[in-house]
Structure 1
């Protein structure tokens, strides 16, 4: 007779993000499912990953770069050189964040039918949404790289590393907030409206379309320090450092102490929000099936 384990294990107890690692196969299936469902019946399919940011870039470039004079030209020396690269490098990153957080915050409610039928690690749904957003991010990154190479892009290894770290900052932040609002949305559907408002603010609260020096000059050092505590701000600045700065003539600069101070601070804040989101998710997930 085989030896039986006397220890009782409570079924359906979550192991947190560790379950996501252990259920990697399920995560891949969810990512494939989300991609298939999203583009079912679509003519362009994944090409929308190119069309949407392209239209967004043209609108902002014409409105801000041409009409408001943010593009440097022979008659406008106060603008930003290669403003098109500056703008698009920020757009691709902020689009990744807005798509990842928006979809992750709705992922639990959107998969309510599956959650009520079987048990599987619920963290898989927000993380899968972030992963799908990363799939959409990389085609945009390819376009950015092509544009940078066309304008004489010669980055250093430090600049390339800064871009990778910037992406990690945004991914951690989106996953943490996605877990937090994904769980809260099960109990309070107003969370969706709050997330939409947060995403609108995030686009303008980071130097995606304007220079960081404008914030520093208008608000002063104290408020600029508070501004730099936003991990999205730091991540966008690392993308500008990696993709835009090497295409300029060297007369531009990055915020002081970006790599030595603000990047570590942003990593710590994003990791802290991920931990907060995970703890909140684990506390609330026990009644997901009943609430849904």
Structure 2
């Protein structure tokens, strides 16, 4: 079902799955031009900062946010778009968020491949710490699944959730260090930025990919424990509320 989800997105197009590669390449090219040429933005890392370096750092944040937003934006409509499965008692509705997550991870892996290729082309090397990137993304995946179970259930009873979550994910993008470093934020506002669940993961992803630093293991462990609790609660909520899906639909 995950593979069908991926293929279905490009069915009928001439390039097919090739779009999953060209899209992040075009995004990276646009980010490089807009932010480093038009806005002349810099990350403030000191020394001679190239235009392409800013784009690569920015792209890491976009990849993390994209994974999170793609799953949550689709979560409220998961049950609504699969009404025929609701009528089948034996079908495990709780796997629907896994299917969406699998499709999102497929596109995320393609984007990461483009990111690493661009980093090698721009710098001529790749930090060995990049092997920790799956470890960094794992807590976010767990948290996103938990939230997806909540939203998939709420989307059945409250149709406005589908409209609201898109606005929330967009706000979270601008309230996380995707387009700017945390150091550029006034200290009085930094706690708000740090409370964003995307902030820690974005910073850790940049550490292991861009800066060649080891991840914050204890921070990831704490994040994983919190994310696991959210996922557990989300799963229980989904299982408790699914009994009324057929009546509402």
Same fold (TM over 0.5): yes
Which residue does 2:113 correspond to in 1? 142
Return the alpha-carbon distance in structure 2 between the equivalents of residues 80 and 262 of structure 1. Answer: 31
Partner-residue secondary structure (3-state), 1:82: helix
Q: 113, 116, 121: which one pairs with 2:92?
A: 121
1:275 to 2:246 alignment? no
1:219 to 2:176 alignment? no
1:198 to 2:168 alignment? yes
User: Contact conserved, 1:176 with 1:273, CA < 8 A, in 2?
Assistant: yes
Return the alpha-carbon distance in structure 1 between the equivalents of residues 72 and 244 of structure 2. Answer: 22
Which residue does 2:34 correspond to in 1? 63
Cα deviation digits, residues 211-248 of structure 1 (max 9, x gap): 12112xx134xx424422322111111111111114xx
Return the alpha-carbon distance in structure 1 between the equivalents of residues 97 and 191 of structure 2. Answer: 31
Which residue does 1:250 correspond to in 2? none
Cα deviation digits, residues 252-275 of structure 1 (max 9, x gap): xx8xx9715543333233222212
User: Contact conserved, 1:72 with 1:80, CA < 8 A, in 2?
Assistant: no
Task: Describe the shift of the 1:261–1:225 C-alpha distance in structure 2 as closer, same or farther (beyond 3 A).
Answer: farther
Structure 1: gaps of 5 or more residues: 1-29, 247-253
Task: Describe the shift of the 1:79–1:263 C-alpha distance in structure 2 as closer, same or farther (beyond 3 A).
Answer: farther
| Most deviating of 96-105 and 184-193 | 96-105
Task: Describe the shift of the 1:51–1:202 C-alpha distance in structure 2 as closer, same or farther (beyond 3 A).
Answer: farther
1:230 to 2:196 alignment? yes
Q: 216, 228, 243: which one pairs with 2:209?
A: 243
1:209 to 2:187 alignment? no
- Kindly state the Cα deviation for residue 131 of structure 1 after the two structures are TM-superposed: 0.8
Greater fraction of residues in helix: 2
| Most deviating of 45-54 and 64-73 | 64-73
- Kindly state the Cα deviation for residue 49 of structure 1 after the two structures are TM-superposed: 1.9
- Kindly state the Cα deviation for residue 37 of structure 1 after the two structures are TM-superposed: 2.7
Q: 98, 121, 124: which one pairs with 1:152?
A: 124
Cα deviation digits, residues 191-215 of structure 1 (max 9, x gap): 1011101211122122112112112
- Kindly state the Cα deviation for residue 103 of structure 1 after the two structures are TM-superposed: 2.3
Which residue does 2:141 correspond to in 1? 171
**Under a length normalisation based on structure 1, what TM-score does the superposition of the two structures give?**
0.75
Task: Describe the shift of the 1:42–1:290 C-alpha distance in structure 2 as closer, same or farther (beyond 3 A).
Answer: farther
Task: Describe the shift of the 1:231–1:199 C-alpha distance in structure 2 as closer, same or farther (beyond 3 A).
Answer: same
Cα deviation digits, residues 47-92 of structure 1 (max 9, x gap): 222233333333433333323322379xx96898811210122222
| Most deviating of 131-140 and 267-276 | 267-276
**Under a length normalisation based on structure 2, what TM-score does the superposition of the two structures give?**
0.86
Which residue does 1:185 correspond to in 2? 155
Aligned residue pairs, count: 246
Which residue does 1:130 correspond to in 2? 101
Structure 2: gaps of 5 or more residues: none
Task: Describe the shift of the 1:69–1:101 C-alpha distance in structure 2 as closer, same or farther (beyond 3 A).
Answer: same
Return the alpha-carbon distance in structure 2 between the equivalents of residues 201 and 153 of structure 1. Answer: 35
Q: 50, 69, 73: which one pairs with 1:102?
A: 73
- Kindly state the Cα deviation for residue 281 of structure 1 after the two structures are TM-superposed: 0.7
Larger Rg: 1
1:264 to 2:221 alignment? yes
User: Contact conserved, 1:177 with 1:274, CA < 8 A, in 2?
Assistant: yes
